[in-house]
Amino acid sequence: MLKIYNSLTKEKQDFVPITPGSVRMYVCGMTVYDYCHLGHARVLVVFDMVQRWLRASGLKVCYVRNITDIDDKIIQRALANKESIGELTDRFIGFMDEDATALGVEKPDHEPRATQYIPQMLGLIELLEKNGLAYQATTGDVNFSVRKFPGYGKLSGKSIDDLRAGERVDVDTGKDDPLDFVLWKQARKGEPFWPSPWGNGRPGWHIECSAMSSDLLGKHFDIHGGGQDLQFPHHENEIAQSEGAHHCPFVNFWMHNGFVRIDDEKMSKSLGNFFTIRDILKQYDPEVLRFFILRAHYRSPLNYSDAHLDDARQALSRLYTALKAAPPAVEVAAVDWHEPHAIRFSQAMNDDFNTPDACAALFDLASEVNRSKSAGLASQLRGLAGLLGLLKRDPQGFLQGTPTPGAEEMSVEAIEILIASRLAAKNRKDYSEADRIRSGLLAAGVVLEDGAQGTNWRRA
């Protein structure tokens, strides 16, 4: 049975869907004013893996991942660029889609944009006001009264009395309490706005997700996911808004992926160690980045470095090498779940999506493929890896298409010319020249593999 670590209860629990046989899952997506970074890549890949395994387990999944297309940073960037908010967000949504596709991330079932759900947000705020949890401040903003919601802090474990004004909350004299957060912002000069019962304005960030999730998945659903940085205050505030409005539980299971670190330091623009997905894909194959992310458990910190990416590239190459060595199957057969490696893979995935152990099962299976050259086991390897979005390409194409980072990439034509020159040198018994060519190719990141059928090659 699938067990999921629930951030709300701080323990692994048997996953029992609210509706038997189906799962409703919401994940906080991107705020689209810039290119997606490595932290976004982790969210995209991790919850793509989660929805893939839920579906592979026979569950019907409704997966929602939102887009925040209105907030302070978006407005500021659009003004700086002298363009409309729509032009800015449409452009970066396109870039986000390109990055996600490169990483093998499947489209969610629904991808709502915040600006499409203003009526639902207004309706939710009206309910909160009716329930005595929202008030209009003297500034014109509508705020949520944190102290009037008795369950505040149950996700993050933070006590209201321990929270001090100025720590992760805005100090605003218009608030009844410094801890209160904004639901509806009064229109500011030069900013976009929508009409509301409290005057022209725009939504606060937290209300967006509560409105979109409840509209698409219902007032009470199975899984809510996102990065660990969103646990407080964003997800805590979502719970307060949603349960305060609807008087019922909001989400059964909360899932949070761990932070990304760069050479053991937290990734941040201020430290100068900030990498976009596009930065990384200039040096590494997208599948290598996906494999690197999945090789770590989703709740653990992900430590990025060139050395770790190089290791992931070499490891993924070993899996593809095993597929290349086996006779090609006529077609990839369905996974045989009674086969020992598949059992181990399934047990790992059902233990809170333990992808490190699942990948270990793949490597053991690859060793069996190397020994047996069995087309059936190779098909099994490809089928299991495919559940993680891996090993879907032609092995030769992958192995010949991933140059060593930092090395000057040698063209396929140049490699084949040198291989032919080496063969000619061997035929005339000039073995020192043949060895020189082989060493030169290796220095350029190209490995030669001599066999009965001739010489094959792959990127190192």
Tokens of 126: 């009206």
Residue 28 assigned to a binding site: yes
Residue 234 annotated as part of some ligand binding site: yes
The answer to whether 11 is annotated as binding is no
- Other CB atoms within a 10 A radius of the CB of residue 20 amount to 7
* 209 is annotated as contributing to ligand binding: yes
The runs of H, that is alpha helices, within 326-430 are 340-350, 355-372, 375-386, 395-399, 412-427
CB atoms within 10 A of CB 351: 16
| 184 DSSP β-pair partners | 142, 203
A 10 A CB-CB count for 201 gives 23
Give yes or no for a contact between 125 and 183, defined as CB atoms under 8 angstroms apart.
yes
**238 in a known ligand binding site:** yes
User: Which residues 6+ apart lie within 8 Å of 96 measured at CB?
Assistant: 30, 32, 36, 40, 67
Could you give the CA distance from residue 1 to residue 351 in angstroms, rounded to a whole number? 8
Find out whether 315 and 291 touch, Cβ atoms under 8 Å.
Answer: yes
Q: HSE (CB half, 13 Å, CA atoms) of 139?
A: 17
Q: Are 103 and 41 in contact (CB under 8 A)?
A: yes
In terms of Cα–Cα distance, which of 206, 242, 224 is closest to 133? 242
Q: Known binding site: residues?
A: 28, 209, 234, 238, 269
Q: Known binding site for Zn(2+): residues?
A: 28, 209, 234, 238
Q: Known binding site for ATP: residues?
A: 269
